[in-house]
Amino acid sequence: MTDYTDNPEAAVVAGLAQQAVHPEELETGVVYVEADGSGGSRIVDTDRYAANPRHIEASRVVGDAESFVRYVTKHVIAGHTEVYADVPSSSVVAMIDSHDAAVGGWQKHRAQLELRHTKSWEAWTKVDGKLLEQTDFAEFIEQQSLDVRSPETAVLIEIAQSFQAKTSVDFEGGERLDSGQVRLEYKETVTAKAGQKGHIDIPTELELLLRPYIGGPVYVVVARFRYRLRGSQLGLGIVLQRPQEILDAAFADIVTEIRDGKTVVKGDEKTVVHEGIPSSVPIFSGRP
């Protein structure tokens, strides 16, 4: 045995030489145990060097029911894959590798349907219950007129233009007509003339055709007109009728589409847009 008492540098070199690792082929995807250099041991997992991992770890997000169904169908594992639909959060999540009756799953592979509101839905819900100035309200009605089923677009544009043209008048009150409309009375003063009076008739409600979620179905939504007189100034707005119920119905219809698929009917022709998820995949109410 060599004595390195008088040569500590040589002792260090010799120690390093003893620790040198000779090249050795390892089987990828296998778990090894090795000394940790301090009297203990540690686990070495070579899974990341294998051609394929032992199990899938993935969290995918898709934007519509069709993409969700296609992803789940592609990766479904018989007896393990399950779907959770949560109404309060409008969330649909698929656990691809969940547990079955006898064998546990890693639960590290999931797909989530992230529902996004359409621009039209966001526009109407943004002004819901708010009172706007005449010009702001008129501009909003013009911009969103294509969302309105009743009254006709031409009538709606005419009403909007009337409000834009009467920004300098004094509104004096309103009354409900037998036709169901509301008549807003105003008075305007023209230079060198006595005050002139007039009125604007507006419907009490609008029927909107709105798609709450991108890729989802369209619904009829009723919006009631509101007006408030603040002295002689007029505030205008709309109030959507039961928007949360519309959202709940839209979510339920999307879950039904995931389960049963989607078919478009035009006249006597039926076109299958996509099938539903495999019938073996259960859908639970709640979150995973």
pLDDT tens-digit map of 34-71: 888 787 888 888 888 888 888 889 999 999 999 999 99
Cα 40 to Cα 176: distance, rounded to the nearest angstrom: 87
- List pLDDT tens digits, range 245-278: 999 999 999 999 999 999 988 888 999 999 999 9
Amino acid (1-letter code) at residue 84: Y
Give pTM, 2 decimals: 0.78
Cα 113 to Cα 277: distance, rounded to the nearest angstrom: 14
Torsion of CA 86, 91, 97, 103, to 10 degrees: -10
* Residue 169, Cβ density class (10 Å: 0-12 exposed, 13-18 middle, ≥19 buried): buried
Q: Which stretches of the chain score pLDDT less than 70?
A: 1-23, 160, 162-202, 229-233
pLDDT of residue 192: 42
Under a CB-based contact definition with an 8 Å cutoff, are residues 286 and 87 in contact?
A: no
**Could you please report the per-residue DSSP string of 252-280?**
HHHHHHHHH-EEEEETTEEEEEE--S-TT
What is the overall mean pLDDT for the chain? 83
pLDDT of residue 228: 74
